[in-house]
Structure 1
Amino acid sequence: MPSPFDVTAGASTGVADVIAAFGQESYWLARLAFGGDSTTLDSLVIDPAGGIVVHTTQDLRRDMLPSAIGRMLPGNAAITRTESWEPHVGGKAYGKFRIAARGVPTTGAGTMLLQTVSTGSRLRVEGTVQVRIPVVGRQIEHFVVDLIARDVRRMQQFTADWIAGET
Structure 2
Amino acid sequence: MTVPRSVDFRVESSASVEQIYWAFSEEDYWLARMAHFGGFGKLDSLSVAEDGTVTVVVLHDLQPDGLPKTFAKFFPRNWQVVQDETWRPADGGVVQGEVAIATRGAPGSGRGIALLAPAANGSELRCNATVEFKVPLVGGKIEGMIGRLMVPQFAVIQRFTAKWIAENA
Query: What TM-score comes out, normalization by structure 1 length?
Result: 0.90
Structure 2 residue aligned with 1:146: 148
Structure 1, residues 26-71: CA drift from partner, whole Å, max 9, x if none?
00011111112512211111111110011112234257x5152335
Partner residue, 2:67: 66
Paired AA for residue 103 in structure 2: A
1:106 is matched with which residue?
A: 108
Q: 1:109 Cα shift?
A: 1.0
Please point out which of 128, 131, 137 is paired with 1:129. Answer: 131
Query: Matched residues, percent identical?
Result: 36
CA contact (8 A) 1:45 1:53 kept: yes
Selected match of 1:36 from 8, 23, 38: 38
Match of 1:52 among 54, 75, 94: 54
**Cα 1:98–1:72 shift into 2, 3 Å:** closer
Residue 19 of structure 1: how far off its partner (Å): 0.2
Partner of 1:165: 167
Letter aligned with residue 18 of structure 1: I
TM-superposed deviation, 1:76: 3.5
Q: TM-score, normalised by structure 2?
A: 0.89
Structure 1 counterpart of 2:118, which letter?
A: T
Maintained 8 Å contact 2:13/2:158: yes
1:149 Cα deviation from its structure 2 partner: 1.5
Q: For residues 72-115 of structure 1, what are the alpha-carbon distances to aligned partners after superposition, in whole Å with 9 as ceiling and x for unaligned?
A: 42233221111101125422111111111111111211200000
Provide the C-alpha distance between the structure 2 equivalents of 1:88 and 1:31, rounded to a whole number of angstroms: 25
Report how many aligned residue pairs link the two structures.
165
SS in 1 for 2:9: strand
Q: Is the 8 A contact 1:16 1:88 kept in 2?
A: no
**Paired position in structure 2 for 1:87:** 89
How many Å separate the matches in 2 of 1:27 and 1:88? 22
* Contact 1:13–1:121, Cα closer than 8 Å, also in 2: yes
SS at match of 1:90: helix
Superposition RMSD in Å: 1.8
Gaps of 5+ in 2: none
Q: 2:129 aligned with 1:117, yes or no? A: no
